[in-house]
C-alpha cells in the first residue's frame, strides 16, 4: 500500500514538473505590422509591464507608485489599458536589428509608423493606441455608454485628445 501511495505521489510530481517547463517563444522574426503572435500567448509579466508603462506615462504625477486599493478610478483605467494591450495587440519580434536576435514583446502598432510627409514622423496614427485612449476615456465617462463623441462636444473631444497624447508611443527603435 505504501508503495502505491509513493508511486502516485512520484507520478504527480513528474507530471507537474513537466507542465512547469518554460514557454518557448518563437525565434523567427515577426514583422512589426503582424499580429501572428498575439498577446494571448504573451507572458502575463510582459502584458503587465507594458500596461504599467502606458498607465504611468498617462499619470506621471504618480511617480510609478503602486495604486492603492481605494483608488478605483486608477484601478479601472489600468485594467482597461491591460485589456487593450492583451487583446491581440502584442507581437514577439526583434526589437531594432534583424541581426541582433534581441526579441521582445512589443505593441503591434506605434505612433508614427510609416512616417509622415518629407520624412517627418506623424504622431497619433496608431489604431492600438487609439483603442487605449478610448478605453481610458470611456472608463472615465461610463455615462456615455461608448457612444461616439460628437464634434460639438468640445470639452469631451479635448479630453480624449489629451488622453491620446498622454499614451502616445513611438517604436523603441525610432
| pLDDT tens track for 118-162 | 444 455 678 888 999 999 999 999 999 999 999 899 999 999 999
Grid cell digits, residue 101: 536576435
pTM beyond 0.85: no
Query: 3-class DSSP state for residue 133?
Result: helix
C-alpha–C-alpha distance, residues 121 and 94, integer Å:
21
C-alpha–C-alpha distance, residues 32 and 35, integer Å:
8
Name the nearest CA neighbour of 128 among 81, 63, 61, 95.
81
Sequence-ordered strand ranges (E) for 3-152: 90-94, 103-107
C-alpha–C-alpha distance, residues 104 and 129, integer Å:
19
Average pLDDT of 47-52? 90
Flag whether pLDDT at 23 surpasses 80. no
Sign of CA dihedral 31, 171, 129, 67: positive
| CB atoms near residue 32 (< 10 Å) | 17
Flag whether pLDDT at 11 surpasses 80. no
| pLDDT tens track for 63-87 | 999 999 999 999 999 999 999 988 7
pLDDT of the residue at 31: 46
Average pLDDT of 45-65? 92
Flag whether pLDDT at 93 surpasses 50. yes
C-alpha–C-alpha distance, residues 75 and 89, integer Å:
21
Flag whether pLDDT at 44 surpasses 70. yes
pLDDT of the residue at 97: 62
Amino acid at each position: 500500500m505504501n508503495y502505491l501511495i509513493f508511486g502516485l505521489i512520484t507520478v504527480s510530481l513528474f507530471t507537474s514538473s513537466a507542465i512547469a517547463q518554460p514557454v518557448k517563444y518563437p525565434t523567427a522574426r515577426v514583422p512589426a505590422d503582424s499580429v501572428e503572435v498575439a498577446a494571448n500567448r504573451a507572458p502575463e509579466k510582459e502584458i503587465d509591464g507594458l500596461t504599467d508603462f502606458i498607465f504611468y506615462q498617462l499619470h506621471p504625477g504618480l511617480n510609478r507608485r503602486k495604486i492603492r486599493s481605494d483608488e478605483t478610478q486608477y484601478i479601472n483605467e489600468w485594467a482597461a489599458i491591460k485589456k487593450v494591450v492583451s487583446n491581440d495587440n502584442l507581437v514577439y519580434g526583434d526589437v531594432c536589428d534583424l541581426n541582433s536576435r534581441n526579441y521582445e514583446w512589443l505593441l503591434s502598432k506605434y505612433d508614427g509608423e510609416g512616417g509622415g510627409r518629407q520624412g517627418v514622423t506623424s504622431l497619433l496614427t496608431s489604431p492600438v493606441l487609439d483603442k487605449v485612449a478610448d478605453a481610458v476615456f470611456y472608463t472615465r465617462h461610463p455615462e456615455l455608454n461608448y457612444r461616439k463623441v460628437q464634434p460639438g462636444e468640445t470639452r469631451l473631444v479635448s479630453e480624449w485628445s489629451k488622453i491620446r497624447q498622454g499614451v502616445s508611443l513611438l517604436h523603441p527603435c525610432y
